[in-house]
Amino acid sequence: MSSQDILKNASTLASYNVLLQVMFRVLTFLLNAFTLRFVSRELIGVVNVRLTLLYSTLVFLSREAFRRACLSGESGTNQSWRQVVNLLWLTLPLGVVWAALLSCVWLWLLEVPDADTVPYYSPAVVLFALAGVQELLAEPLWVLAQAHMFVQLKVVAESLAMIAKCSITVVLVMFAREWGLYIFSAAHLVYTGFLVLCYAVYFIRFLGSKEAAKKNFPLQHVRDLLPCRVDGEPLVDWTLARLTWSFFKQSFLKQILTEGERYVMTFLNVLSFGDQGVYDIVNNLGSMVARFIFLPIEESFYIFFAKVLERGRSVKSQKQEEVAIAAEVLERLLKLVLVIGLIITVFGYAYSHLALDIYGGSLLSSGAGPSLLRCYSCYVLLLAVNGVTECFVFAAMSQKEVDKYNLVMLALSVSFLFLSYMLTWWAGGVGFILANCLNMGLRILHSLLYINRYFQFSQWKPLRGLLPSPLVLLALAVSGVVTAISEAVFCCDSGWLLRLVHIGVGAVCLLGVLGAVLLTETQLIQFVRTQLLPQYRKKRT
């Protein structure tokens, strides 16, 4: 597959992933708004922070390293895929071990919530761990689908699973509220069960079909999806196994950085369960754009960079045509996420209070809620840049460089935990976001230095993508001042008419910013139209 075909498929995958994440975040957004009116803040805090942390820790530590290694450029030949599948099945026993260990910690070492306020905590811990293990049953199928760009499969599977989860939650919250944590445990089991079922049904129908033969799919039978030894070959690809081990050591540190605030809240008890619930709702609201735009782009273009670039080799020793494409894509992606991040930061300041008041009423808009969301708007900008720079760095690094970066991640993890603890005592929930900003800034700095060294002796300078046009910066600055004045004058205690005026001011300013982007960032607009909008590309074809 040529680099242009890989770029086309990665762009399609990114577009579908963005649409999928939009749907997920909208459904979760509506689900949280609904449950806020039926269950306590304490229950939401336990589910969204503690139990979700158990699940995410289990699945991340069990599969992330395998995903990174098996989707790298060193896998994927017809001769190696059976070995790759064998390696991926190790996620299941590893998940069982993590489920047992983490359940013991969550049940016996952490503070148990009050049974009257948050009933059925112990069974919920076991059920959330079981849901994580159940999801790992689909891991080999998920990697095969991602590697071969089965973009619609992921959209359909996760859409059906999310709809089923939301339906179960709504029904049980309305008609069986006394079930407490059983409601959310059952919904999560249904979600992971639907994922496994969809992937299993698809591959059972796909393998051996004419479509599989047309695509030269490397596996022919359903039994090829199960662990098996091929005559004359090792059980697993040991090169991939060693790379997996390198990523596995790194996954501990990355998980701490990703979910650091939840670990601090869970293990150090710096916030009550009710405050954790409010923080998590604001955090989810603030991270919507990061999750449904930036994360899918990062995941999809990691596959592109990993397949186009040769891991651990210098620019001069690779095909110059493919390096040129990678450099151009990196520059455009940096410009894209930077512009989006700046827009969110500027407009997030003036519209945080209004958004929280509409979403959750005084429960969220009073107290520290607006300050949390304003700080998170700044953090989104750092998340945007870090996602793109790290997806390139991880695709280009050699195994030795990955191991070396583990030490950097260790230092960042330790500093993050310390900063989170100290800043939270000083500034409450805002301290978590400040600590995240500092650590994200350091991660960006490390990635920028690596990218600069990588292209140092070449003609390509992809870091120019971090320089928006002066007109765009001017439009953003004017919009920030105008919307801040509008909030002070029109929002948010003088009725809906003035609120609509405030919204109208923001809409006019946003149109001005988008107009500046259209006038000055022509190459970026062309990249978005041709690579991130599959409908447009189909028309051109």
Residues 387 and 436 in one domain: yes
Look up the pTM and report it: 0.70
Residues 88 and 232 in one domain: yes
Residues 242 and 276 in one domain: no
Give me the DSSP letters along 252-290.
HHHHHHHSHHHHHHHHH--S-HHHHHHHHHHHHHHTHHI
Nearest CA-CA partner of 71 in 147, 122, 182: 147
Residue 191 lies in a domain: yes
Residue 514 lies in a domain: no
Residues 65 and 212 in one domain: yes
Residues 248 and 312 in one domain: no
Alpha-carbon 78 to chain mean position: 30
**Domains of the chain: total:** 2
Residues 382 and 411 in one domain: yes
**H or E element, residue 535:** helix 534-540
Residue 400 lies in a domain: yes
Say what the pLDDT of residue 2 is. Answer: 56
Last residue of a domain, one of 232, 250, 266: 266
Last residue of a domain, one of 223, 248, 266: 266
Last residue of a domain, one of 251, 266, 281: 266
Q: How many CB atoms lie within 10 A of CB 414?
A: 12
Residues 338 and 292 in one domain: yes
Give me the DSSP letters along 197-246.
HHHHHHHHHHTTSHHHHHTT-S--SGGGGS--PPTTS-SS-HHHHHHHHH
Residues 353 and 393 in one domain: yes
What would the pLDDT profile of 348-363 be if each residue is shown by its tens digit?
Answer: 999 988 988 887 777 7
> Tokens at residue 334, please?
């940096």
Residue 510 lies in a domain: no
Residue 3 lies in a domain: no
Residue 476 lies in a domain: no
Only one residue has tokens 């600055």, namely 477
Say what the pLDDT of residue 45 is. Answer: 87
Report the distance separating Cα 367 and Cα 355, nearest Å: 14
Residues 239 and 349 in one domain: no
Nearest CA-CA partner of 27 in 191, 179, 150, 202: 191
Which of helix, strand or coil describes residue 367? coil
Say what the pLDDT of residue 475 is. Answer: 95
Q: Residues of the chain whose pLDDT is less than 70?
A: 1-25, 28, 73-79, 231-232, 289, 291-292, 532-541
Residues 337 and 379 in one domain: yes
Handedness of CA 540, 325, 341, 57 (dihedral sign): positive
Residue 506 lies in a domain: no
Residues 251 and 124 in one domain: yes
Residue 4 lies in a domain: no
Only one residue has tokens 């990678």, namely 326
Say what the pLDDT of residue 15 is. Answer: 62
CA distances for 466 relative to 137, 511, 541, angstroms: 41, 22, 31
Say what the pLDDT of residue 310 is. Answer: 81
Handedness of CA 349, 351, 353, 356 (dihedral sign): negative
Asked if 387 and 337 count as a contact pair (C-beta separation under 8 A), the reply is: yes
> Tokens at residue 264, please?
């601090």
Close Cβ partners of 7 (under 8 Å, ≥ 6 residues apart): 304, 308, 325, 329, 531
Say what the pLDDT of residue 163 is. Answer: 87
User: 366 is in which domain, residue-wise?
Assistant: 271-465+523-532
Nearest CA-CA partner of 372 in 290, 499, 294, 276: 276
Residues 382 and 329 in one domain: yes
Please give the DSSP secondary-structure letter assigned to residue 73. Answer: T
